[in-house]
Amino acid sequence: MMRRFPASFLVTLIWAAAPLAAQDFVTLKGHGGPIMDIAVSAEGQVATASFDNAVGLWRGRAPTWLDAHAAAVNCVAFDGDDLLSGGDDFAVIAWREGTPMRLGYHKGKVTDVAVSPDGRLIASASWDGTVGLWHTDAPERFRALGNGGLNDVMFSPDGATLYAAGAGGAIIELSVEGDTQRPLVKHGFGVNVMTMDPAGRWLAYGAVDGVTRVVDLPSGRERADFTLDRRPVLAMAHHPATGQLAVGDGQGYIMILDTETWRITRDFRATRQGPIWALAFSPDGKVIYAGGLDDVAYAWPVALLDEYDPIQGPTRSFQRDAENMPNGERQFMRKCSICHTLTPGASRKAGPSLHGVFGRRAGTVPDYLYSDTLTGSDIIWDEDTIDQLFDLGPDHYIPGSKMPMQRITDPQDRRDLTDFLKTATN
């Protein structure tokens, strides 16, 4: 059974400015899409990155929404009092007191951002295969690694070296100022996440094939292996002061390791609907934050993890049994529902509401931040334009649109979707 606490200990809306007590279970609600990343500042402030194109900054009794990305936000990191974010719109953004300053763009989605120990440089990893180095007072520098798309990047403790993990299965070590680079790890399967001991003694990484491994630095020799029969490994968080290393996977588990004894101290099924995409510790290491497929970020007291049942969130629309739906509804649930609602009014979904879409000019839903290409568009949504949208794919029909790249190739599937939308959005 899930542990039951007195009402005074249960926080069910958002985290308040005061640090969490060790017995608090917390849900951070308000996003309109899955949680892609979580960062916690030294003062305990929480930032969340979401598929809904927004960064949530949780402070006081309500979140502040930071809306400047034109697509899903994949990563957040604190830089002192400032915040950094990167997303599917290829942009790297620095937030100064809530005001966005675009540092620049990659040529592919940005998967991670990191700050050098002295705060002088910002590094970004991208699926374009490059590491970006940014400084607010100097032009950006891009380092192409030739290792396929990159999933993670971090600085060494002295700030002189960068480590980049990629879909090609390698972790590359490269100097910040020079051109030298070497493969530290050749794994063979894509490496998703990594973290490092602040003393520079070891590096831990998680991979697509479920491997969770620790290697010595600078040799790259294996120190410990905690691979379980769960894949992929998608998130890591390290709390140096308490020696805790948290690992999240595609099946909804959070494994806690003791980095002094190198043993598993807890293995917690956090959610029945996996995956765990985001992990972060509170400043004192007593609370673990996690995010994934739900539109909610959760936090549990680490010491009491074994006393909680897994979260059983609502079944997402795209997870519903396809056999119980007509084909048009099935197409909507699979292709559209994660980004769009069918009901009137604003939402925090990645896309605007489709209520009343037929006969509506594209780019005209109030209070929605459209891409430039749709603002002032001549497109009127009807059977023909919706059919063309999914026949060609949004990236070809409306180049520059926020809509993800996808097609519905079967003409009957497109007709069924259109018929469903005509009824459901009226």
- Domain co-membership, 283 together with 325: no
Q: How many CA atoms lie within 13 A of 214 on its CB side?
A: 21
- Domain hosting 231: range is 26-301
- Domain co-membership, 119 together with 56: yes
DSSP code of 203?
A: E
Number of domains within the chain: 2
- Domain co-membership, 182 together with 137: yes
Could you tell me if residue 10 is inside a domain?
Answer: no
Structure tokens at 367: 């209070």
Residue 299 bridge partners (DSSP): 26, 289
pLDDT at residue 232, rounded to an integer: 97
Which residue among 270, 301, 332 closes a domain?
301
Could you tell me if residue 308 is inside a domain?
Answer: no
Which residue among 254, 272, 301 closes a domain?
301
Structure tokens at 25: 């279970």
Q: Got the DSSP string for 120-134?
A: S-EEEEETTSEEEEE
Q: Measured in Å, how far apart are the chain's first and last C-alpha atoms?
A: 43
Which residue type occupies 8? Answer: S
**Distances 399 to 22, 200, 250, 372, 388 between C-alpha atoms, Å:** 49, 45, 33, 10, 13
For 216-245, what is each residue's pLDDT tens digit?
Answer: 999 999 999 999 999 999 999 999 999 999
Range in 6-10, 250-254, 318-322, 363-367 with the lowest mean pLDDT: 6-10
Q: Which of 265, 257, 256, 251 is nearest to 224 (CA)?
A: 257
pLDDT at residue 5 is higher than 60: no
pLDDT-derived band at 9 (thresholds 50, 70, 90) equals very low
pLDDT at residue 426, rounded to an integer: 86
Rounded CA-CA distance 324/128 in Å is 40
Rounded CA-CA distance 182/164 in Å is 11
Could you tell me if residue 1 is inside a domain?
Answer: no
Could you tell me if residue 19 is inside a domain?
Answer: no
Could you tell me if residue 192 is inside a domain?
Answer: yes
Q: Which residue has the higher pLDDT, 192 or 346?
A: 192
For 172-213, what is each residue's pLDDT tens digit?
Answer: 999 998 888 999 999 999 999 999 999 999 999 999 999 999
Average pLDDT over residues 27-52: 95
How far is C-alpha 383 from the geometric centre of its chain's CA atoms?
34
pLDDT at residue 24, rounded to an integer: 75
pLDDT at residue 4 is higher than 50: no
- Domain co-membership, 70 together with 142: yes
CATH number at residue 331: 1.10.760.10
Range in 3-7, 169-173, 267-271 with the lowest mean pLDDT: 3-7
CATH number at residue 265: 2.130.10.10
pLDDT at residue 7 is higher than 50: no
Contacts with 247 (C-beta within 8 Å, 6 or more apart), sequence order: 206, 212, 226, 233, 235, 236, 254, 255, 256, 257, 279
- Domain co-membership, 161 together with 278: yes
- Domain co-membership, 289 together with 321: no
Could you tell me if residue 15 is inside a domain?
Answer: no
Q: Which of 67, 116, 80, 75 is nearest to 92 (CA)?
A: 75
pLDDT at residue 327 is higher than 80: yes
- Domain co-membership, 208 together with 347: no
Q: Which residue has the higher pLDDT, 13 or 196?
A: 196
**The Cα angle at residue 290 between residues 288 and 292, in degrees rounded to 5:** 170
Average pLDDT over residues 147-175: 94
Could you tell me if residue 14 is inside a domain?
Answer: no
pLDDT at residue 136, rounded to an integer: 64
For 237-281, what is each residue's pLDDT tens digit?
Answer: 999 999 999 999 999 999 999 999 999 999 999 998 889 999 999
- Domain co-membership, 243 together with 135: yes
- Domain co-membership, 321 together with 276: no
- Domain co-membership, 291 together with 323: no
Which residue among 256, 272, 301 closes a domain?
301
- Would the pTM of this model clear 0.85, i.e. be above it? no
Mean pLDDT for the chain overall: 88
pLDDT at residue 16, rounded to an integer: 38
- Domain co-membership, 215 together with 79: yes
- Domain co-membership, 336 together with 221: no
pLDDT at residue 12, rounded to an integer: 32
Could you tell me if residue 36 is inside a domain?
Answer: yes
